[in-house]
Amino acid sequence: MNNNHHKFVVKDLEVIYGDFRALKDIELIVKENAVTAIIGPSGCGKSTLLRTFNRMIDLIPNVQTSGAVIKDGLDIRQVDVVDLRKSVGMIFQRPNPFPKSIFDNVAYGPRAHGMKSLAALTEIVERSLRRAVLWDEVKDTLDKSALALSGGQQQRLCIARALAVEPDVLLMDEPASALDPISTLKIEELIQQLKQAYTVIIVTHNMQQAARASDYTAFLNMDEDRAGYLVEFGETAKVFTYPEKKLTEDYISGRFG
């Protein structure tokens, strides 16, 4: 927790889709072993920013980025994309387990990176499921289809799947927005446990969730041209209680967004 290592440093980031500027002038520092929340109104580029960290944004046609995202001192564009995504896991808005068994879902990543030994895979699957607090619920049904699980279980399975490739960062794109309140709470508790060992960046629409679950908060807004920019960034406690900008206060108190 009291680690001051900078996991990510974002410098002057700009993202353009075709002729639409989605993000501009983003300056951000993501601390290691902490939860950083990205909040802001719909369409302000939260997900775009999140997807620059593992270069999933490259999948979108006609995308151009300038500026730099630096992870552990290295510009992520100089890192092999496979290695980058191995170390930066991602959890999506809707749980997206593969139509395979629970075991095969978790083992998917390690297998993709060449692991064949069943004993080693079994160990990884158990460890990852335990870390995602799903083991006790599925340990007897590992060969059942993952699609038979409930939504909340599926999302924790996706977390286990991401953990199985031993990342050091987890990106979460509104991970609880498709879940019921109890499942949401479980995910939030899990995030608190995960930050002991991982750096977590979470996009959320839910102000309470950001306030409860994060250590740092970045507030994004969009200007007249719908380009997202960073309004305020700081410790969550401070952003939520003594925001520096009027806009931040208006947003977190629900006056717009």
Partner 1 sequence: MTVEVESVVSKAKSKRNLKRQNTLQILGYGLAWLCGLIALATVFWIIGYVLSQGLQVINMAFLTTRPAGGVSGEGGMSTTIVTTLYLVILTVVIATPLGMGAAIYLVEYAGDASRESKVVAFLVKASRTGVEILAGVPSIIFGLFGFALFVLYMKLGFSLLSASLSGAALVLPTIIRTSEEALLTVPRSYREGSLSLGATKWHTIFNVVLPSALPGIVTGIVLSVGRIIAETAIFWVTLGGSYHLPKSIMNSGRSMALHVYMLASETRAFDKAMGTAAILIITIILLNLSINILSRRLTKRLIGN
CB of residue 214 to partner 1, shortest distance in Å: 21
The residue within the footprint of partner 1, chosen from 5, 144, 226, 245 (CB under 8 A), is 144
Distance separating alpha carbons of residues 70 and 26, to the nearest angstrom = 13
The interface mask with partner 1, positions 74-93, x = CB under 8 A, is: -------xxxxxx--xx-x-
Query: Binding-site residue total for partner 1 (CB under 8 A)?
Result: 34
**Neighbour order of strands in the sheet with 228-235:** 74-75, 63-71, 6-17, 20-31, 228-235, 216-222, 35-39, 199-203, 169-173, 88-91
Our finding on whether 162 is near partner 1 (CB under 8 A) is: yes
In degrees, rounded to 5, the angle at the alpha carbon of residue 33 between the alpha carbons of residues 206 and 22 is 50
Sequence letter at residue 127: R
Instruction: Work out which of 28, 38, 165, 179 binds partner 1, going by CB under 8 A.
Output: 165
**Per CB under 8 A, which region of 1-9, 123-131, 143-151, 233-241 contacts partner 1?**
143-151
Judged by CB under 8 A, the residue of 29, 41, 108, 215 near partner 1 is 108
The region of 1-9, 23-31, 109-117, 119-127 touching partner 1 under the rule CB under 8 A is 109-117
With b meaning 16 or more CB within 10 Å and e meaning fewer, what string describes 32-71? bbbbbbbbbeeebbbbbbbbbbbbbbeeeeebebebebbb
129 with 138: CB under 8 angstroms? yes
**35-39 and 216-222 beta bridge pairing:** parallel
Using rule CB under 8 A, residue 175 touches partner 1: no
Query: Can you tell me whether residue 68 is helix, strand or coil?
Result: strand
Of 28-67, which residues contact partner 1 (CB under 8 A)?
54, 56, 59, 61-62
- Under the rule (CB under 8 A), what is the footprint of partner 1? 54, 56, 59, 61-62, 81-86, 89-90, 92, 94, 96-100, 108-109, 111-113, 144-148, 158, 161-162, 165
